């Protein structure tokens, strides 16, 4: 039976995050959260593997207690159990320390054969987590997986989507995959699964619950990068607004401009 | 070791055995400028065999040295051998920074050797600056969907690792140095130990409609689009203008248009004569990917950031303006 891990993340709706013009801080208060969309494609891939080959899907995330809602959403889709890593010392982590924390916590549940991740998160968008997790899991990695051809004899054969074509690769287990969404659109949970997930047990680990966790390697102390400054993008001077309120006359003016400029 | 003990900056030259990918050359050109500021030497790192004339292109970018790595394991890209090579090299030479093009494979292996070296890794910087007080590179990049710019540094650890998207920096070679330090290293990675092996490669069919990087005209549709049924008029407008259709990230996320049409830092960087956006808000991640001689924006929100990037803007209903433009253009063609 395959032991499958899916890494998910709860993110703020980035469209609604604003920057306080006075303090320069990001205002996240009251901003709704969602499950990182690409993680749902990873979950879909994992659930399909489980359906075809048999196995057990464990979900893992790191975040504040409210991240539990993301785990429940994923449990409803197809997870068997779930781990939440939560505690102040984990906060402010970059990918170097987050990948360390996740692997140490996952190790508490034994060794996984397959690890699935979304390609990147919409908020941090570094796209680095998967490779760093793979290194720490001492796993092979198949990034940008377009389709999974077969899993047998401790190996997985899959197709990667590269810039200009498709590459077939074969990797040994344990293997970490990041998933393209094209062939792994997420399914919706049925009502029973949704209700079951509401009361499903979730394992919560604080920094005190994880064996052998080096507190210097988590959160801010364990991070390789810092963000010393954020600022609003410098905007160029606005262009000339030619609208009059009538689409017809605006379009006419625009076509005239295109003609003047030699574009048509 | 102190971080001041780490010197020189490296650029990974991605190649397919025949030609060097543009991004490595772009990075050499940009880092030439940075190294002139910091006093570091700029080294290009080439794994496996690359023809002489391609190596000459690297020399023309003003590098101070080239590290050629030979040995087993580099015939085809694989995470294990490539990450290992950089870990071995970095431990031997202690560079201050390593830059890798943010291609699919570059983004695959660079974060991995960063963990092997236990150091910080950044991705997608759009500007690189040097802070002489700390000796750190400032990786400046858009964050939170392009609403803010973030300065990211690696304040303690070395090397500073960064992946940079293709097209971010200009290829503007400054010419070769009189003396170029040539280092040859043999690092063998047992092919049997490669855990993810290349089996075969099938190139994608070439669809001209999906090749928009150098299209003369691009009609770009953004998240203002109601649904895919409203898309046809924009295709028609693009046809009338002799152009192609492109989109912003939300339209790809919504499954309306394919990734190859996504314009911006994380998609295609376009260079075009005429660019007309409809319902595009103007996040930095998108506008960073647009180099247009004439930039026109149509959006219903008068506050939209896109109007800061356009030459001419129309505040109005995108579908109506598009329909009227189609009428006008058809009338002219009669």
For chain A, positions 101-120, list CB contacts with chain B under 8 A: none
Facing residue for B310 by CB, picked from A164, A225, A239: A239
CA distance A173 to A55: 14
B124 at interface of A, judged by CB pairs closer than 8 A = yes
With contacts defined as CB-CB under 8 Å, which chain B residues touch A170? 196-197, 199
A264/B332 CB distance under 8 A: yes
Which DSSP letter does residue B40 get? P
Alpha carbon of B234: minimum distance to chain A alpha carbons (Å):
14
Number of inter-chain CB pairs under 8 A, A vs B? 244
- Per the prediction, chain A carries an average pLDDT of 95
B147/A18 CB distance under 8 A: yes
Facing residue for B155 by CB, picked from A123, A141, A226: A226
Kindly state the tokens that stand for A208.
């005190």
CA distance B296 to B312: 5
Tokens 């394991």 appear where?
A: B73
| Pick from A134, A73, A83: nearest CA to A108 | A83
The answer, yes or no, to whether ipTM is higher than 0.90 is yes
Kindly state the tokens that stand for A217.
């390697």
A19 at interface of B, judged by CB pairs closer than 8 A = yes
Q: What is the DSSP string of B262-322?
A: BBSTTSB-EEEEEEEEES----HHHHTTEEEEEEEEEES-TT-GGGGT-SEEEES-HHHHH
pLDDT value for A23: 72
Burial class (CB in 10 A: 0-12, 13-18, 19+), A260: exposed
Distances (CA, A) of B73 to A261, B11, B59, B69, B183: 54, 20, 25, 11, 19
Q: Which of A21, A24, A94, A125 should be substituted to probe chain B, the one whose Cβ sees the most B Cβ atoms within 10 Å?
A: A125
Helices B79-93 and A129-137, packing angle to 10 deg: 90
pLDDT value for B185: 98
- B119 Ramachandran zone, left/alpha/beta (phi>0; psi -120 to 50): beta
Per DSSP bridges, beta strands A18-19 and A26-27 are: antiparallel
Facing residue for B111 by CB, picked from A95, A166, A239: A95
Q: Which of A37, A128, A166, A220 should be substituted to probe chain B, the one whose Cβ sees the most B Cβ atoms within 10 Å?
A: A128
pTM reported for the whole predicted model: 0.94
B197 at interface of A, judged by CB pairs closer than 8 A = yes
B133 at interface of A, judged by CB pairs closer than 8 A = no
Q: Please report, for chain A, the start and end positions of each structural domain, with discontinuous segments joined by +.
A: 2-217
| Pick from B23, B185, B20, B8: nearest CA to B98 | B8
Phi and psi for B143 in degrees, rounded to 5?
-140, 170
B129 at interface of A, judged by CB pairs closer than 8 A = no
Q: Is residue A92 within 8 Å of A113, Cβ to Cβ?
A: no
- Ranges under pLDDT 50 in chain B: none
Cis ω before B159 (30° cut-off from 0):
yes
Alpha carbon of A52: minimum distance to chain B alpha carbons (Å):
22
Which pLDDT band, with edges at 50, 70 and 90, does A140 fall under?
very high
B196 at interface of A, judged by CB pairs closer than 8 A = yes
Helices B52-60 and B22-38, packing angle to 10 deg: 40
Cis ω before B21 (30° cut-off from 0):
no
Domain A2-217 has CATH 3.40.50.620: yes
Q: Each residue of A66-102: pLDDT tens digit?
A: 999 999 999 999 999 999 999 999 999 999 999 999 9
With contacts defined as CB-CB under 8 Å, which chain B residues touch A255? 325, 328-329, 332
Phi and psi for B120 in degrees, rounded to 5?
-85, 145
For chain A, positions 213-242, list CB contacts with chain B under 8 A: 223-233, 235-242
Radius of gyration of chain A (CA): 22
In B, minimum Cα distance to A223 occurs at: B120
B266 at interface of A, judged by CB pairs closer than 8 A = yes
Burial class (CB in 10 A: 0-12, 13-18, 19+), A28: middle
Which DSSP letter does residue A219 get? T
Q: Which of A44, A249, A258 should be substituted to probe chain B, the one whose Cβ sees the most B Cβ atoms within 10 Å?
A: A258
Q: Which of B84, B105, B113, B115 should be substituted to probe chain A, the one whose Cβ sees the most A Cβ atoms within 10 Å?
A: B115
Facing residue for A243 by CB, picked from B119, B315, B332: B315
CA distance B85 to B72: 11
For chain A, positions 135-174, list CB contacts with chain B under 8 A: 135-136, 139-144, 157, 160-172
Q: Is residue A117 within 8 Å of A42, Cβ to Cβ?
A: yes
Kindly state the tokens that stand for B259.
């990734």
Q: Each residue of A13-57: pLDDT tens digit?
A: 988 888 777 776 777 778 999 999 999 999 999 999 999 999 999
With contacts defined as CB-CB under 8 Å, which chain A residues touch B154? 224-225
For chain B, positions 138-177, list CB contacts with chain A under 8 A: 142-157, 163
pLDDT of residue A159 exceeding 90, the answer is yes
Q: Which of A225, A256, A257, A262 should be substituted to probe chain B, the one whose Cβ sees the most B Cβ atoms within 10 Å?
A: A225
Q: Which of A31, A181, A250, A261 should be substituted to probe chain B, the one whose Cβ sees the most B Cβ atoms within 10 Å?
A: A250
With contacts defined as CB-CB under 8 Å, which chain B residues touch A18? 147
Which DSSP letter does residue A124 get? T
Q: Is residue B280 within 8 Å of B262, Cβ to Cβ?
A: no
With contacts defined as CB-CB under 8 Å, which chain A residues touch B107? 127-128, 131, 143
With contacts defined as CB-CB under 8 Å, which chain A residues touch B328? 251-252, 255
Helices B79-93 and B104-116, packing angle to 10 deg: 50
CA distance B18 to B52: 10
Q: Each residue of A239-249: pLDDT tens digit?
A: 999 999 899 99
Kindly state the tokens that stand for B195.
């855990």
SS3 content of chain B, % helix, strand, coil (to 5): 30, 30, 40
Kindly state the tokens that stand for B148.
């803010």
pLDDT value for A30: 86
Domains within chain B, CATH numbers bracketed = 3-193 (3.40.50.620), 208-333 (3.40.50.1220)
B182 at interface of A, judged by CB pairs closer than 8 A = no
How many helices and strands (H and E) does chain B possess? 8, 16
């Amino acid at each position: 039976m395959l032991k499958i891990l899916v890494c998910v993340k709860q993110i703020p709706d980035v469209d609604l995050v604003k920057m306080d013009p006075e303090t320069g801080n990001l205002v996240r208060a009251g901003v709704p959260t969602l499950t990182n969309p690409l993680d749902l494609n990873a979950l879909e891939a994992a659930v399909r593997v489980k359906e075809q080959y048999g196995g057990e899907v464990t979900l893992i995330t790191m975040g504040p207690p409210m991240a539990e809602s993301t785990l429940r959403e994923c449990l409803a889709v197809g997870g068997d159990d779930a781990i939440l890593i939560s505690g102040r010392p984990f906060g402010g982590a970059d990918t170097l320390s987050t990948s360390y924390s996740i692997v140490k916590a996952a190790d508490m549940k034994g060794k996984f054969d397959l690890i699935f991740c979304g390609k990147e998160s919409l908020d941090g968008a570094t796209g680095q987590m998967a490779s760093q997790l793979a290194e720490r899991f001492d796993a092979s990695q198949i990034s940008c997986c377009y389709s999974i051809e077969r899993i047998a004899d401790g190996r997985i054969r899959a197709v990667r989507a590269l810039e200009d074509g498709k590459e077939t690769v074969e990797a040994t287990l344990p293997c970490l995959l990041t998933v393209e969404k094209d062939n792994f659109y997420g399914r919706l949970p049925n009502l029973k699964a949704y209700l079951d997930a509401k009361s499903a047990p979730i394992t919560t680990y604080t920094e005190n619950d994880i064996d052998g966790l080096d507190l210097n390697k988590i959160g801010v102390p364990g991070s390789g990068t810092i963000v010393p400054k954020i600022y609003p993008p410098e905007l160029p001077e606005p262009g000339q607004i030619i609208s009059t309120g009538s689409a017809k006359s605006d379009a006419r003016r625009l076509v005239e401009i295109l003609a003047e400029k030699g574009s048509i | 070791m102190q971080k001041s003990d780490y010197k020189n900056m490296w650029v990974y030259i991605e190649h397919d055995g025949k030609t060097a990918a543009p991004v490595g050359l772009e990075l050499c050109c940009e880092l030439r400028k940075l190294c002139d500021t910091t006093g570091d030497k700029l080294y290009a790192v080439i794994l496996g065999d690359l023809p002489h004339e391609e190596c000459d292109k690297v020399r023309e970018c003003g590098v101070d040295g080239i590290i050629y790595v030979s040995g087993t394991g580099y015939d085809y890209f694989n995470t294990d051998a490539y990450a290992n090579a950089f870990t071995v090299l970095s431990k031997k030479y202690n560079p201050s920074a390593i830059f890798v093009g943010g291609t699919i494979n570059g983004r695959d292996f660079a974060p991995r050797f960063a963990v092997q070296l236990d150091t910080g890794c950044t991705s997608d910087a759009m500007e690189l600056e040097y802070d002489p007080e700390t000796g750190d590179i400032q990786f400046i990049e858009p964050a939170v969907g392009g609403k803010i710019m973030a300065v990211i540094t690696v304040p303690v650890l070395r090397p500073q690792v960064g992946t940079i998207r293709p097209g971010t920096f200009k290829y503007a070679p400054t010419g070769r140095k009189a003396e170029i330090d040539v280092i040859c290293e043999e690092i063998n990675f047992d092919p049997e130990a490669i855990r993810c092996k290349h089996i075969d490669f099938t190139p994608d069919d070439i669809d001209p409609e999906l090749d928009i990087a150098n299209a003369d005209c691009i009609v770009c549709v953004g998240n203002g689009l109601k649904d895919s049924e409203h898309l046809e008029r924009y295709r028609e407008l693009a046809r009338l203008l002799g152009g192609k259709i492109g989109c912003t990230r939300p339209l790809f996320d919504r499954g309306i248009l394919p990734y190859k049409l996504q314009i911006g830092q994380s998609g295609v960087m376009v260079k075009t004569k005429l660019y007309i956006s409809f319902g595009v808000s103007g996040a930095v991640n998108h506008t960073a990917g647009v180099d247009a001689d004439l930039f026109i924006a149509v959006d219903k929100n008068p506050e939209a950031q896109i109007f800061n990037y356009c030459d001419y803007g129309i505040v109005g209903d995108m579908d109506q303006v598009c329909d009227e433009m189609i009428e006008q253009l058809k009338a002219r063609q009669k």
